[in-house]
Each structure stands twice: as structure tokens, then as C-alpha cells.
Amino acid sequence: MKREGCVGYCDTTGGWFRPRNFEIEIDTHLDKETYTKTLLHEMFHMKQFIDGSLKTKRSKMYYKNEPVDNYSYDDQPHEIEARKAEEDLYLEYLNA
């Protein structure tokens, strides 16, 4: 992950059709806030896979049936949605 410049990753395991098993990897050298936000971000991607808005078909990722590689990473719609959710969920976590 460090070579790719990312701190977290979520993927399905055991098949892409209606996935129910996931693997989340997170850099263990993050401070507590960044680690927590990264976990919430990756869990939001898991929710996107579960509700079907994020899918993998023939080794390509799609968000709402549009290929995500049509966008630069920062502009990918599923990432924008996950970044917003990460902040909202983190505020909820702090106020719990």
C-alpha cells in the first residue's frame, strides 16, 4: 500500500456477485484519528459493495454502472461519497 500511496483498502473476497465477504487493509502506522477515519472510509466502501452501487465486473470497478476509471482517483464518485461519509461518521463517533 505504501508504494501506491494509500493508507487503506477494501475488496470483496469469495466472489463479486452479491458480495458478503470483505477484506479491509489499513496502514498500522497511522495516528488514531487517521486510522479511525480510514476504517470508516473503507467500511463505507463495503456498504457500497453490499448495496450494489459499487461493483466489480471483469476486473473493472463500476459505480452506479459507470466505470470509475473514467475519472482521476480524486474525482471518482464513489471516493467522493466515501470521503464525505468518513467525515460525517467520524463526527458521529466523536459525539457518541
Local structure of 46: helix, strand or coil: helix
pLDDT tens sequence across 35-87: 999 999 999 999 999 999 999 988 899 999 999 999 999 999 999 999 999 99
Q: How many CB atoms lie within 10 A of CB 28?
A: 7
pLDDT tens sequence across 60-73: 999 999 999 999 99
Contact 44, 86 (CB under 8 A): yes
pLDDT grade for 27, boundaries at 50, 70 and 90: very high
DSSP 2-30: TTTT-SEEEEE-S-SSS---EEEEE-TTS
pLDDT of residue 37: 98
